[in-house]
Structure 1
């Protein structure tokens, strides 16, 4: 059953064409993710679907009597209402019955009103509904029903908007970045909820774990064109790679033909026959294809980072509390060269406060932070940048630096850095006020990186960034040679970037976990989890334990990295072998694929040999 159809819509702003003549449909039980670069039209498409904007051409057709709900990034709530009143401010008949019953409970002496409300609950089968909506509120930590909306934080308002939508159970739910401002526990609960419920979804999200577990179809808007993939995120990655390879092969053919046709065009006299005019028209079509090769933004920077001395950053017996809430309790840590630490924990456990103390933005109640003389901290906060009126993109970044030094005496200019983070030459001279929210975040990230820090602190760097930008950022950080400290709810990002975690448990308890987020999740879900030591009170942390077991800290990091690399190489090997087994390798590509396979096998043997070497030290 079709719920909604987008038919041949187009949208331009001045000379800039966002998209032209695109169409797609949303059918019952589909769970669709909508993917595109920041600034390419995601929000505009969402606004058109929701009736907040009009397309230049085309239309959106919605099935009659379909109940739609939209979760925007900016909640639309009434400040003077309480949480409870906000929930009941709905046309949902069952909710009205529950509201009447809740009021009757508050006046038990009015037996007649109570009995009437009780009977209505039975008639509308509202008991199960009441249980479900209270479970939703409990999971989203909205338990104080009497709190007014105006007293809620931004995250609480987002959770309340989400709760209202889930409780009303619309036929079609449209979500714009639903996991922003949710902690990991809530995100994982929401994943399970959407994965199990028969609910139709259309969403924009950068959370790739969420995409993997929830979505069964992905629609990508790329360079103004739509591409549809019937599968989850892994399937999308595989098929997109195949599509790009196919497109590039066609472009290569067109480029060869273009060279021949260009020579012909130059030889022709001005007067054209009908036949040559037709060939001339074909030439311009071939030229368009030949010049359409996509620019892949691969960030491979051998950064000439400032030398780090033996002292990085030392934390000595830090203590911090706000009123009765303890954030840090006698916490000590000595950062080592090349560490890549992720910070996780529920909202309100003090992650951002910890970063502010580390950067001396705020002071601890007790203890001290000692920063080495050679350390240059780059701090990406959630607050972003505040541009002056009339500033252009390139002007913003040049305020912080003109270039980053690379090895072998090379440099990368501010303009080149912007290009690597998807600001093309034209975009660099746009006024900052024209940028989307995600583009502003991307620009802010460039202002931090241009300062060439050797200790990089990122507080929720993935919020509002599109998946394309996330891949660019991950490539950059994988090459980053300094220390890295990251707070993020993006589990996919954390798995790729960090090698151990600070787990903020609340009440000043911080645990040091030796692994990435997936390792931690598996550990937490195990039948009998062991108690991890609190690094603020225990001297024997995991690094020291590994040394006792025979591996140094750097060897432990290498061991974990090799395990991941072996897994990736085995997957690549299996894919190529399957292509040969299925007979899907073209005759002219057999030699190339065979050589690729031999390179992979050789790398795999080298990695396995090193793995066994390190394993023997642990016995």
Structure 2
């Protein structure tokens, strides 16, 4: 069953053609990812397919009886609303029922209330608010009553994602859904999409995510869309075969073109004396061979400043904001060629730690000693504030007009931009014309051009295309200095880091030897009730055990890290909670039955409010039961 079809789509910006006569379709059950280089038009194509942007020409058709949810790269949310109000403003039958119910209650409308409650029961919408809170919580948004205007860009994206997910549309269209999510939230989203029977169309550069979620990859390359039925690994294999065949075909075309060019030059100039069909064929061949381009390779072979024996020493570092403790006596001495991953949920203090290491933020207590030869290169999540009226080449020349390579050679700013895949025409474009990925690539160039020997990279993979990511990985593998990385790209982290700092909350930081996957396998192998200081299972790299938590904060307030034991009173509480929850569930069924029989307006209102109170009580008692169950 076809859900979406696009025929002969064409889109350009000025003299720049993104794609021409592109035809594409999505069937029920497909999980399709669109990939391609930065600036190739992926986001534009997704916007056209979602119906939020018109093509220059062509037709997009959606099946009329399906619902569509669209997550834009930059969601437009009403700043005056709360998080819950924004999510409830989505479109679905359940949300309609909830809104109708709330409206009837607020306006004391007896007839509307009866209809709304009937719809709530029919659509199983009584627990809908709890589902919304769960999805928001999994995505890192806990306070549902805060104003959207107070949220960061990343938080706004997560709220918009939650709004789309709760609608449970037939066709889900997502633009870079994993950007601004922490690793646990990405894994939740991965599981959600894998267990959802809906149809998915998305743009993403997260290679693990692509491999585990998608069953079809569509690559946008030079204005053409190449579709591959299979996961990301299959796509890579078939793409290589296609490019090998294309290179062979191009070589043949160029040989033919040289022969035809010689024929054209040899023949009389009078056009009528030549075979017109051969002239037309020559013109077509000329366009075909000249239209092929060599993407080149992103070359990051830049010089690195010398690093001395003393690098960076952190001693008893502490930081809190109000009552929230981010770091508690964190101590670590960085060694030459350290490659460290920094992981933890959003809000745990990862960016705060990096800002303190680079001197942009002062700790509450503790000492940071930086070696005299250390030169930081700090790549932040926040895009550089560049004048949009400035040309790309001017931005680079403001930093340096000539740069040194690792082999001692020098190159100009223009030559360096070419190595960063900015061709001559793109170098003289205004910053305002760059795509999000191109701006991030330019930001990366501006960090590396200063020849740092200690790189601190805060989400460097956001908005970078896969080609750029592969070359950046190769550069970092050969980088002779220190590297500290925060990234939601699990493949990127697994390939680069040798140990990870795990920010566990309450100021605690664990130094774990191994990459992210090693840590997750070890963590998942631990019994739920195990102390944070238990030894790792066999899945940890051979001959390695996790270092102790390097913060002085204790586990569950217990100074020896021992497992907490329940008191006699807590055991009795645990035993009675289960019975109380069961009793509340039975009462809820009874009240819903009463609602369905009808009655006076006052009775209906009282029963509806009782259901809300029962739901709240069940949630509170369930949380307490789960808390006690950890120690049974």
TM (norm. structure 2) is 0.79
- Cα distance in 2 between the residues matched to 1:499 and 1:403: 34
- Compute the displacement of 1:145 (Å): 3.5
- Pairs aligned (count): 537
Q: Which residue in the other structure is 1:32 paired with?
A: 32
C-alpha deviation, 1:459, in angstroms: 0.8
CA contact (8 A) 2:36 2:219 kept: yes
Partner of 2:12: 12
Question: For residues 114 and 429 of structure 2, what CA distance do their matches in structure 1 show?
Answer: 66
For residue 199 of structure 1, report the CA deviation from its aligned partner. 0.9
Q: Are 2:238 and 1:239 equivalent residues in the alignment?
A: yes
Match of 1:298 in 2: 297
Equivalent of residue 536 in structure 1, options 543, 550, 554: 550
SS of residue paired to 2:337: coil
User: How far off is 1:173 after superposition?
Assistant: 1.2
Cα 1:115–1:252, aligned 2, differ >3 Å: closer, same or farther?
closer
SS of residue matched to 1:17: strand
Contact 1:248 1:293 in 2 (8 A): no
Q: Write the deviation string for residues 258-304 of structure 1: whole angstroms up to 9, x where unpaired.
A: 33333333322323566644333333433444445542433455544
Cα-to-partner distance string for 1:200-257 (whole Å, 9 max, x where unaligned): 1111112111111111111111011110011111111111111101101111222333
Distance 1:177 1:344, change over 3 A: same
Q: How does 1:426-437 map to 2 (within 5 A)?
A: 426-437=425-436
- Return closer, same or farther for 1:116/1:26 CA change in 2, 3 Å cut-off: closer
Q: 1:132, CA displacement in angstroms?
A: 4.2
- Distance in 2 of aligned mates of 1:157 and 1:404: 39
Inter-CA distance 141–456: structure 2 relative to 1 (3 Å threshold): closer
Give CA deviations for 1:85-114 in whole Å, capped at 9, x if unaligned: 33333453423444577799999xx99999
CA, structure 1 residues 209+303, in 2 after alignment: closer, same or farther (shift >3 Å)? Answer: same
1:421–1:472 CA contact under 8 A, matched in 2: no
Once the two structures are TM-superposed, the CA of residue 309 in structure 1 deviates from its matched residue by 1.1
Q: Cα deviations across residues 303-356 of structure 1 (Å, max 9, x unaligned)? A: 442221111111122111111111221112111111211111100111111111
Q: Is the 8 A contact 1:332 1:535 kept in 2?
A: no
- 1:369 Cα deviation after fit: 1.5
Structure 2: distance between partners of 1:389 and 1:111: 57
Q: What is the Cα-based RMSD across aligned positions, in Å? A: 2.9
Alpha-carbon distance between aligned partners in 1 of 2:105 and 2:388, rounded to the nearest angstrom: 56
Report the equivalent of 1:609.
none
Q: How far 1:389 moved relative to its partner?
A: 5.1
Alpha-carbon contact 1:317-1:536 (below 8 Å) kept: no
Q: 1:46 to 1:377 in 2, by over 3 A?
A: same
Q: CA 1:266 to 1:11, structure 2 compared with 1: closer, same or farther past 3 Å?
A: same
**Worse-matched range after superposition: 452-461 or 50-59:** 50-59
CA distance in 2, matches of 1:301, 1:37: 17
Q: Relative to structure 1, is the Cα distance of residues 133 and 353 closer, same or farther in structure 2, using a 3 angstrom cutoff? A: closer
Distance 1:154 1:266 in 2: 60
Q: 1:125 to 1:190 in 2, by over 3 A?
A: same
Please say if residues 22 and 226 of structure 1, whose CA atoms lie closer than 8 Å, have aligned partners that are also in contact: yes
Measure, in 2, the Cα distance between the counterparts of 1:340 and 1:321: 26
1:582 is aligned to none
Shift of 1:116: 8.3
- Residue deviations 1:546-589 (CA, integer Å, cap 9, x gap): xxxxxxxxxxxxxxxxxxxxxxxxxxxxxxxxxxxxxxxxxxxx
Task: Say whether the 8 Å CA contact 1:298–1:475 is kept in structure 2.
Answer: no
CA deviation string 1:9-40 (max 9, x = no partner):
11122221111100101111111111122222
Q: Secondary structure at the match of 1:281?
A: helix
1:376 aligns with 2:375: yes
Q: Which moved more, 1:44-53 or 1:295-304?
A: 295-304
Equivalent positions of 1:431-450 (< 5 A) are: 431-450=430-449
Measured after TM superposition, the shift of residue 426 of structure 1 is 1.2
CA gap 1:408/1:490 in 2 versus in 1, 3 angstroms: closer
- 1:320-335, aligned counterparts within 5 Å? 320-335=319-334
Stretch deviating more after TM superposition (96-105 or 256-265) = 96-105
- Partner secondary structure for residue 314 of structure 2: strand
Q: Which residue of 2 aligns with 1:248?
A: 247
SS at match of 1:182: coil
> What secondary structure does 1:461 align onto?
coil
Aligned to 2:483, what secondary structure does the other structure show? Answer: strand
Worse overlay, 437-446 or 403-412: 403-412
Deviations 1:479-521 (A, max 9, x none): 3222111111111111222222111112111111211222222
Partner residue in 1 for 2:207: 208
Q: Specify whether residues 268 and 90 from structure 1 end up closer, same or farther in structure 2 by C-alpha distance, changes over 3 A only.
A: closer
Distance in 1 (CA, whole Å) between partners of 2:408 and 2:246 is 37
Matching residue of 1:189: 188
C-alpha change, 1:524 and 1:101, in structure 2 (3 Å) is: farther
Name the SS for the 1:166 alignment partner: helix
Q: Once the two structures are superposed, what CA deviation does each residue of 1:562-618 show, in whole Å capped at 9, x if it has no partner?
A: xxxxxxxxxxxxxxxxxxxxxxxxxxxxxxxxxxxxxxxxxxxxxxxxxxxxxxxxx
Give the Cα–Cα distance (whole angstroms) in 1 for the partners of residues 129 and 316 of structure 2.
48
Aligned to 2:2: 2
Deviations for 1:445-500, whole angstroms, at most 9, x for unmatched residues?
Answer: 11111111111111111112222322232233233222111111111111222222
Worse overlay, 275-284 or 218-227:
275-284
Match of 1:161 in 2: 160
Structure 2's unaligned 5+ residue stretches are 536-545, 553-632
Given that 2:311 and 2:370 are in contact with CA atoms closer than 8 Å, whether structure 1 keeps it comes out as: yes
Cα distance, 1:273–1:105 mapped onto 2, change above 3 Å: closer
Q: C-alpha deviations, 1:62-103, integer Å up to 9, x for none?
A: 221321121112233223333333333345342344457779
